[in-house]
Amino acid sequence: MELSKTFDPKAAEERWYQRWIELGYFTADPQKPGEAFSIVIPPPNVTGQLHLGHALNVTLQDVIVRVRRMQGRNTLWVPGTDHAGIATQNVVERELGKEKLTRHSLGRAAFEQRVWAWRDAYGGRILHQLRKLGASCDWTREHFTLDPDLSRAVNEVFVRLYRDGLIYRDRRLINWCPRCETALSDLEVEHRETDGQLYYIAYPLTDGSGAITVATTRPETMLGDTAVAVSPDDARFSAMVGKRVRLPLVGREIEVIADAAVDPKFGTGAVKITPAHDFNDFAIGRRHGLAEISVMDTRGRMSAEAGVYRGLSIKECREAVVNDLKAQGLLEKIEPHRHAVGACSRCDTAVEPLLSFQWFVKVAPLAGKAIAAVRNGETRFHPRFWENTYFAWLENVHDWCISRQLWWGHRIPAYRCSRCEHFTIAADRPARCEKCESTELVQEEDVLDTWFSSALWPFSTLGWPNETLDLKKYYPTSLLITGFDIIFFWVARMMMMGLYCLGEVPFRDVYITPLVRDQHGRKMTKSRGNVVDPLVIMDDYGTDAVRFTLAQLAVQGRDLILAQDRLAASKAFANKIWNAARFVMMNLSGAPEPIPAVEVSALDLAERWILDRLSDAIAGVTEAIDAYQFNTAALRLYQFIWHEFCDWYIELAKEPLKAGGERQAAARYVLVRGLDQLLRLLHPFMPFISEEIWQTIRPYIDERDLAPHLAIAKFPQAGNEKLSEEEKVAMSHCIETTEAINSLRSLMGFHPGQRVTATIRPTGAGAEDIAREFAAWMTYAMTMAKAEKLEVLESGAERPRSMVTTVLEWGEVSVKAPDGFDFDKARRALRKKLDDVSTHHEQHLRRLGNPEFQAKAAAEMKEQIEQRAEELGSQRKVLEAQLQLLGGAE
Ligand SMILES: [Zn+2]
Ligand SMILES: [Zn+2]
């Protein structure tokens, strides 16, 4: 078999992914042996399109899933999608809008059908894209949060929580989106600082003794005022507490009350209280038993309670109220005022607090256990600092409003009795009202917050509430990999629900992925136009290169900066591996058959050295993966493959390969073994190219019960071909000597093929012995540095003339200058170059040190200058070092 000249990523990606699926390699079987390793995918929204965040998240999951599978663990990775209530409903509503239809004109049943049709047509897109990335999910266990079995789990949890008094229905103030016409949870509201105004309005006291002035950012809500409040400690108002004022424009008499929640420093120190339109006022109102008067409807228009203002929009009403107050001389002044305004996270419309009946989960009792489970280490966050974020939220959590006035989602399993109004809660539709036995029951119109079903994902997808084999084998799951932005929405809620329903945490480890930024460190946004589409870069560089880059850049706790040159470097890495494999294949002559292991004692130093490096790489990669340090694992792999295996060992193997006989056999064995093992290590990161190469080398591998494909081959274990300490020192001397000669070669301008004469003058104790004892490494250094002569001098010998010398810790390495080499001229040229670079470097530093530049230049410009200054700085260092080498030479 032979490898083609270049690697064709597209062909390999299609061929192997399909093969692995056909052969069922990713299908888990709970009855098979092996310690379980399970992971549930954060289900992307069914409306989703693969973005870099997904690509990173899925790559890291796939790396660890593939490693565990190859390590023989009983591995399950559950894929699926989230119905994404409000997001999906909005997408379909926008479509309807193009046809001049609304969901209301369509009716609920027809609308739901429309959404299902949309889902069937487009909902699989994102999952298809995950396959393109190489995700080794068990597609036979694909789930959708609205599947019948998952819906059953939702109903079951709802009923249990209700029976335990942890779900209740109440008329309370909630966040409302007037465009989506639904309640929102606190987390679905985005707060933004906005320039607004503060209106000062006089409320006349009914006893004729004057007026009390309140300050408000929302004058239109005064129509719903039911009190004026001051701080109990505020001496300015102590005489007024208990008096009554006449509410302007409305005429209602309301009381002046004292409440500690009032900030005496805000406005005049007196505030209007509108319980139905403000969260603080609502709390104060409930404490004082105030009436709750709602003056707006669910579409953000003024309601009948607003009297003459009925039907106006909020904006129109504000203008009208302000004008009317002015006309009556009650508007004292208007001041500019910056304050936070909440917006719907789905459609950006300003959110209105609205008084309505909703369903809530009492979170505090659930939160306690979720906090404890992380405190006592049952679940660990990586990086650890995210635990603080998790604790801070759970310790201050409010009750969770779980009802949504949407049509797309799990309809709440509550049935209202038309006769007695009582709600009967049941997983399946009950025949009668549990209170009055009436059969006239109507199911609650509202659906549940999307995150309610997502919170059950780690066990609903394993078959809960049935006691399935999957549940028994794979719960708790081993690991969750997700973004920091959904620690509250999702991670914390899964913890609460897992502990509540199963008494055990849903996962042992939580790895929080870094945020992906562009090469300048900026967030990727549509408006900046710097969004990188993973599908496009997968096409350009190959999926393996994209995966390797993402893993290599995933440093725990740091943002991931994705620069295109990193992708190009990963593509070059893939090519390097390909070429190395071609070299190995070309040197395996004869019919393919397993190459038997060669005794360690029959191996040369270089061979034992590369096997030692291989063991070290295996140990390093395995350890890093276990600690979720994907970048460290990728880096070690890169170093081993590129520098140790390709740059060194392949070069050193050329001579014994030519020599024939036992030495040739040994080199072949080590090449095949090295390539086989490095491909196994590489496979989780670059699954396609590794499988493609492995298939050609597979016939030469001598292993009992060898797997037919790399995807299920055994993950390597560190071997015991360790080098002795002396041999290790020898090889490091060899590498240092080679590097020293090579840098001297380039300093003196030798052609790449030109042979040089070099000497080593040992200075450190024992260096001379090592050089003599391991004559082997001297030949390696000569091969690698293209030296025709490498002589070891007596340690007391004089430094040779016409040579340029590098001083190492244990000795000096010198290279003879080419005939007629003009040292003075070389020094002058180097000096000139150094001067140029230094001048340039100083210029950049001055610019960066200039306060005016720092204040005015754009961030991008600053970054460019900083980067250039850094490059010039390191060039300067190199030139200075080179000049020093030439300094004393003649
Ligand atoms: Zn909205
Ligand atoms: Zn009833």
Q: What is the pLDDT of residue 100?
A: 92
Nearest ligand to the C-alpha atom of residue 183? 1
Query: Where residue 890 falls among pLDDT bands split at 50, 70, 90?
Result: low
Is 70 exceeded by the pLDDT of residue 1?
no
CB 449 within 8 Å of CB 401: yes
Distance 181 CA to ligand 2 centre (A): 29
Distance 29 CA to ligand 2 centre (A): 48
Nearest ligand to the C-alpha atom of residue 344? 1
The average confidence (pLDDT) of the chain is 92
Query: Where residue 725 falls among pLDDT bands split at 50, 70, 90?
Result: confident
Nearest ligand to the C-alpha atom of residue 93? 1
Q: What is the pLDDT of residue 864?
A: 82
Distance 30 CA to ligand 1 centre (A): 43
User: Of the ranges 512-526, 807-821, 876-890, which one carries the lowest mean pLDDT score?
Assistant: 876-890
Closest CA to 452 of 168, 109, 151, 118: 151
Sign for the pseudo-dihedral over CA of 703, 707, 709, 715: negative
Q: In the chain, what percentage of residues exceed pLDDT 70?
A: 100
Is 90 exceeded by the pLDDT of residue 881?
no
Is 70 exceeded by the pLDDT of residue 332?
yes
Is 70 exceeded by the pLDDT of residue 868?
yes
Mean per-residue pLDDT, 625-635: 96
Distance 115 CA to ligand 1 centre (A): 18
Is 70 exceeded by the pLDDT of residue 828?
yes
User: Of the ranges 39-48, 251-260, 492-501, 583-592, which one carries the lowest mean pLDDT score?
Assistant: 583-592
Residues written for the chain: 890
Residues 6+ apart with CB under 8 A from 561: 517, 518, 519, 521, 553
Q: What is the DSSP letter of 775?
A: H
Distance 177 CA to ligand 1 centre (A): 5
Mean per-residue pLDDT, 377-393: 95
Mean per-residue pLDDT, 191-210: 92
Distance 447 CA to ligand 2 centre (A): 22
Distance 163 CA to ligand 2 centre (A): 18
Higher pLDDT, 599 or 163: 163
Calpha distance 382→379 (Å, rounded): 10
Distance 358 CA to ligand 2 centre (A): 20
Q: Return residues with CB closer than 5 A to ligand 1 (ion).
A: 177, 179-180, 344, 346-347, 349
Q: Return residues with CB closer than 5 A to ligand 2 (ion).
A: 417, 419-420, 422, 433, 435-436, 438
For 618-629, write each residue's pLDDT tens digit: 999 999 999 999
Calpha distance 698→714 (Å, rounded): 13
Please, what is the Cα angle at 800 between 794 and 806, to 5 degrees?
Answer: 90
Query: Where residue 590 falls among pLDDT bands split at 50, 70, 90?
Result: confident
Distance 301 CA to ligand 1 centre (A): 15
Nearest ligand to the C-alpha atom of residue 419? 2
Nearest ligand to the C-alpha atom of residue 417? 2
For 56-88, write each residue's pLDDT tens digit: 999 999 999 999 999 999 999 999 999 988 889
Q: What is the pLDDT of residue 485?
A: 87
Query: Where residue 277 falls among pLDDT bands split at 50, 70, 90?
Result: very high
Is 80 exceeded by the pLDDT of residue 860?
no
Query: Where residue 529 falls among pLDDT bands split at 50, 70, 90?
Result: confident
Distance 152 CA to ligand 2 centre (A): 25
CA distances to 213, 226, 383, 450, 828 from 379, rounded to whole Å, are: 54, 48, 12, 24, 64
Distance 180 CA to ligand 1 centre (A): 4
Distance 293 CA to ligand 1 centre (A): 24
Higher pLDDT, 113 or 185: 113
Q: What is the pLDDT of residue 526?
A: 79
For 409-424, write each residue's pLDDT tens digit: 999 999 999 999 999 9
Mean per-residue pLDDT, 92-117: 92
Distance 436 CA to ligand 2 centre (A): 4
